[in-house]
Structure 1
Amino acid sequence: MTENAHVSGSYWLDTAPGEPRPALDEDLTVDVAVIGAGIAGLSTARELARAGKGVAVLEAGRVAAGVTGHTTAKLTALHTLVYDKLRRTRGPDGAQLYARSQSEAVEHAAALVDELGIDCEWERRSAYTYVCDAGRVAEIKAEADAARAAGLPASFTTDTGLPFPVAGAVRVTGQAQFHPRKYLLALTDDLVAHGGRVYEHTTVHGLDESKPCRLSTGTGATVTARDVVVATHYPIFDRALLFTRLSPRRELVVAGPLDAARDPDGMYITPDEGTRSVRTAPYGKDGEGGEAGGQRLLIVTGEHFTPGTGDTRARFDHLSAWAGEHFPGVDLTHAWATQDNDPTDTVPLVGPLHAGARHVFVATGFGGWGLSGGIMAGRLLTALITGGTCAWSELYDPRRLRTAVREAPSFLKNQAEVALHFVGDRLRPAPPVDALPPGEGAVVRVDGHRLAVYRDDDGALHAVSPRCTHLGCLVAFNSAERAWECPCHGSRFDTDGKVVQGPATRPLERRDI
């Protein structure tokens, strides 16, 4: 990266640390157990508690500190170029249901902000999907037409607030952006006020789908519940084989203060250049010299890649350079990364975990749009669990089979890439341990055995098994974030093998070296 940008952690976490919650230390019986305290899990839990259910949320890390704590926090129903594809694959009715469900999620969040008086820097903004390549203008016009036909206030335009010309853009008015962690911390407080329980540092290892369901945890406690919601972003249970329908994608984020007069006044994304997303946020309300100094926080996202592949440092450099080129003079103060899961047929998977499931539900596959998707999932799952109805439950049902033929090309491509990593990564030559500089890691051979070895800044070696504890792919080292990553399904581990991100739930085994 440039000298001004460094992996300093998420701005959202820095500015809203939150109060710690206890780990679960005794057996517990509730109506509903929700696994995962991101926006999907907390939205579901809060809706259920308001409906009178006894709810417990089990989070392996901290509340809203995972994927939701590293988002770019755009709350919109415009999801890059989804509507033209949906009207071709799901028909006009499917596209309309998708638009309605996502738009209602935006407005549901707005109502909660007002109802609970949440100070989360809520702002209304127009959302844009743009291209600079004139050869893609027809694609943008088709998307604008499809989004408008689906019911969104969408139009085609060449006029944006970006500091460079665009060939064309879809604009959807009346969307929103906010501070996701401040919003979710307030939601958590409301959940607890209505009898809900929230436990941090409580990893779930096992699920028994008997009546009632039983969850085993890393703390040794057992949770008994009539219903279970798996909202861990990437499902931690493989019995539904959903990992075959999801492709993990990691993206980088850089941010820094920008003069308010240069605010592009909108939320922007382009599918070009490995994706570029631009927005600003209120800056300096807590004494950092922001609003009074006429500044906002510029947030630029892009460089998407499969976890465990390529040079992340070079990608940060590239993204920082792009931000500096288009917003010259911005001092990048924050840099972090986020991770999403793309479903093979575009539409998230929200509903029963598998064909035989009666009391276990899942929310996953939001494809980079987890804020509106997570809020939508909370409303949909609450309806299913409480016996209500939801107009779009069939659209998002994970058991859907009618789209299998349409999924086939993406499904086969995804599985081919997984197979390539599973076999090919084992055939690559391993560097010698002595070649590792401080701060770097690699999968090496020692006495005929493969080890994942990291050399810390003091020169000490840390060795773990290179086999991901999810399904056995070999991990690779991300030097920019100092983490081991699985390129097959996106599990991430720290340098001592502790799980940072699932679907893996068990650490990499320590090894002697």
Structure 2
Amino acid sequence: MLTSYWMQTTPATAYPALDGDAEADVVVIGGGIAGLCTAWELTEAGRRVVLVEADRIAAGVTGYTTAKLSALHTLVYDQVRRSFGAEAARLYAESQQDAVERVASVSARLGIDCDLERVPAYTYVESPDGLDAIHAEVRAASEAGLAASFVTETGLPFPVAGAVRVENQAQFHPREFLLGLASDLVRRGGRVFERTRATGLDDGDPCTVTTELGHSITARQVVIATHYPVFDRALLFARLEPRRELVVAGPIPASADPGGVFITPEQNTRSVRTAPYRDGQRLLIVTGEHFTPGSGEPAEQWERLASWMRERFSGTQVAYRWATQDNTSTDRVPFIGRFHRGTDRVFVATGFGGWGMSSGVLAGRLLAASITGTELPWASLYDPGRIGVTREAGTMMKLQAKVAAHFVGDRLRPSRADSIDDIGPGEGAIVRVGGRQCAVHRDAAGDVHALSARCTHLGCIVTFNEAETAWECPCHGSRFAVDGAVLQGPAVRPLPREDLAGS
């Protein structure tokens, strides 16, 4: 089924929508792991907090994660050491491991049963050609302070050429943890508003956040934790690359549990973990096949991922499949801190690079400390105001060249379908109607739904993801439902409907 196991096994939330103006010490925009952890940390510190979420809390990217809670992020330590220095790598390791321990301690203190399991983490390669990178990562991670070692044996049911193994990592049920955190947040006096999309921000003193229904919230400070910043006066969109990734999951015998969390950069990424499942089984969760939104072939890629799972884990059949999305910064370190140099009132958390569980918890710790006047030692490493021309120039140029190619080229490209009649049930395509580009979808009943094809973020032309029945922007990753509603930012406004009558 096309659903997340985390979403299926937890109750739906029903926090109210904001129905009038409000005041707070801090407004947190976004109800994923970064937003909820920030709001909870601030509430525990005595701040009056209002959290607004455009849909339902812990139901966006966080509800569709793999939920590996690890400080080992593929091959990040050698890269951070080379780009930022050994001390930065140490701070990265310390902050990420602190996040792992924070989940363990908070869930124990609040009595949240979130299936937390302590396991080792591995980054492995099957080809000997990748061993130099593995050895370099072992050295860098060890020097950074992690309990890292080189191994050639793992619990995986296939041989590896070598792997980094780091002890004392974890896996958990992210929604169970975050719903428990939200309940405690409200118990402490925090307020949560769902189905409340923030569409405007005045970062004066005080700050004012406005919503799509015209209500406003005034506060001393604002935290933007919307995955991709929906307000971007710092121009972070030029330094963030969106990436979509697929997930398949199926039950396996408990005896087949490989006993850890695993990832390889090979084969367009393969990530493996398990979770407790019914009847004494384990749920095997396999992630990979990443692509830029609007440019992948999800149906084919899901099948490749499912085939890999069946081949490597003795015929395991897919019981769940879903997709997730994250953004990677141009220097591969998240942006967490003041939104831009000219403000001490607006903060941001983004660019987690596929490691949103530890980085989201870390964001909560770091932002709450900054807002309450305590600087953690890791703050400068994650500062969004850092600029590393040498580190970022090449990646930024490639990223912006790709965006420019879509922005200009997709407008000049001939229609993807000659006419609306060429679009079959369940299909979608860009069609030129009366000289304008329309995003046209025909549903299973044969009814046609037409929208403007221009993304409401910065105007790139969307493409249709048939496997997920959604329109996607290939420039910055915004996603829209077939009725135009925003599924994923940075866009905050829906795709306008197009009237095809008389065209």
Give TM class, smaller chain: over 0.9
**Which of 404, 427, 430 is the matching residue for 1:419?**
404
**Which of 377, 382, 387 is the matching residue for 2:373?**
387
Q: Judge conservation of contact 1:308–1:485 (CA < 8 Å) in 2.
A: yes
Q: 1:113 is matched with which residue?
A: 107
How far apart in 1 are the matches of 2:390 and 2:256?
Answer: 47
Instruction: State the SS of the aligned residue for 2:93.
Output: helix
Task: In structure 2, give the amino acid aligned to 1:404.
Answer: V
How far apart in 2 are the matches of 1:448 and 1:43?
Answer: 48
Q: 2:272 is matched with which residue?
A: 278
TM-score (norm 1): 0.96
Q: CA deviation at 1:507?
A: 0.1
Task: In structure 2, give the amino acid aligned to 1:116.
Answer: L
State the identity as a percent: 60
Is 1:91 equivalent to 2:85 in the alignment? yes
Aligned ranges 1:455-466 → 2 under 5 Å? 455-466=442-453
How far apart in 2 are the matches of 1:270 and 1:309?
Answer: 22
Q: 2:435 is matched with which residue?
A: 448
Deviation digits for residues 341-395 of structure 1, max 9, x if unmatched?
0100011000011111120000000000011001111111111100112101000
Instruction: State the SS of the aligned residue for 1:232.
Output: coil
Task: In structure 2, give the amino acid aligned to 1:91.
Answer: G
**Which of 350, 353, 367 is the matching residue for 2:353?**
367
How far apart in 2 are the matches of 1:87 and 1:311?
Answer: 35
Is 1:195 equivalent to 2:189 in the alignment? yes
Q: Judge conservation of contact 1:454–1:462 (CA < 8 Å) in 2.
A: yes
Q: 1:287 is matched with which residue?
A: none
Q: 1:502 is matched with which residue?
A: 489
Q: 2:294 is matched with which residue?
A: 308
Instruction: State the SS of the aligned residue for 1:379.
Output: helix
Structure 1 residues 212-221 or 470-479, which shifts more? 212-221
Q: CA deviation at 1:327?
A: 1.4
Q: 1:355 is matched with which residue?
A: 341
Q: Judge conservation of contact 2:257–2:282 (CA < 8 Å) in 1.
A: yes
Q: 1:333 is matched with which residue?
A: 319
Instruction: State the SS of the aligned residue for 1:301.
Output: strand
**Which of 304, 307, 312 is the matching residue for 1:321?**
307
How far apart in 1 are the matches of 2:461 and 2:467?
Answer: 19
TM-score (norm 2): 0.98
Q: Judge conservation of contact 1:352–1:358 (CA < 8 Å) in 2.
A: yes
Is 1:69 equivalent to 2:63 in the alignment? yes
Is 1:48 equivalent to 2:48 in the alignment? no
How far apart in 2 are the matches of 1:329 and 1:50?
Answer: 47
Is 1:145 equivalent to 2:118 in the alignment? no
How far apart in 2 are the matches of 1:17 and 1:312?
Answer: 28
Aligned ranges 1:165-204 → 2 under 5 Å? 165-204=159-198
How far apart in 2 are the matches of 1:485 and 1:343?
Answer: 20
Structural RMSD (CA):
0.8
Q: Judge conservation of contact 2:347–2:367 (CA < 8 Å) in 1.
A: yes
Q: Judge conservation of contact 2:441–2:482 (CA < 8 Å) in 1.
A: yes
Where does the alignment leave 5 or more consecutive residues of structure 2 unmatched?
A: none
Instruction: State the SS of the aligned residue for 1:454.
Output: strand
Q: Judge conservation of contact 2:13–2:56 (CA < 8 Å) in 1.
A: no
Q: Judge conservation of contact 1:493–1:508 (CA < 8 Å) in 2.
A: yes
How far apart in 2 are the matches of 1:177 and 1:433?
Answer: 47
Q: Judge conservation of contact 1:246–1:342 (CA < 8 Å) in 2.
A: yes
How far apart in 2 are the matches of 1:117 and 1:72?
Answer: 23
How far apart in 2 are the matches of 1:209 and 1:232?
Answer: 17
How far apart in 1 are the matches of 2:301 and 2:420?
Answer: 25
Instruction: State the SS of the aligned residue for 1:135.
Output: helix
Deviation digits for residues 284-317 of structure 1, max 9, x if unmatched?
2xxxxx32xxx10010000000000132111111
How far apart in 1 are the matches of 2:115 and 2:413?
Answer: 48
Task: In structure 2, give the amino acid aligned to 1:36.
Answer: G
How far apart in 1 are the matches of 2:353 and 2:296?
Answer: 21
Aligned ranges 1:210-249 → 2 under 5 Å? 210-249=204-243
Deviation digits for residues 66-124 of structure 1, max 9, x if unmatched?
01100000000000000001111111100000000000110011001110111111101
Q: Judge conservation of contact 2:13–2:57 (CA < 8 Å) in 1.
A: no
Deviation digits for residues 464-487 of structure 1, max 9, x if unmatched?
000000000000000000000000
Q: Judge conservation of contact 2:309–2:315 (CA < 8 Å) in 1.
A: no
**Which of 260, 264, 286 is the matching residue for 2:258?**
264
Deviation digits for residues 15-69 of structure 1, max 9, x if unmatched?
0123311000010000000000111001000000001000000000101000110
Q: Judge conservation of contact 1:18–1:185 (CA < 8 Å) in 2.
A: no
Aligned ranges 1:6-21 → 2 under 5 Å? 6=1, 8-21=2-15
Instruction: State the SS of the aligned residue for 2:226.
Output: strand
Task: In structure 2, give the amino acid aligned to 1:304.
Answer: H
How far apart in 1 are the matches of 2:211 and 2:11?
Answer: 25
Q: CA deviation at 1:257?
A: 0.7
Q: CA deviation at 1:132?
A: 0.7
Task: In structure 2, give the amino acid aligned to 1:171.
Answer: R
Instruction: State the SS of the aligned residue for 2:35.
Output: helix
How far apart in 2 are the matches of 1:273 and 1:17?
Answer: 35
Q: Judge conservation of contact 1:348–1:363 (CA < 8 Å) in 2.
A: yes
Q: CA deviation at 1:238?
A: 2.0
How far apart in 1 are the matches of 2:296 and 2:102?
Answer: 40
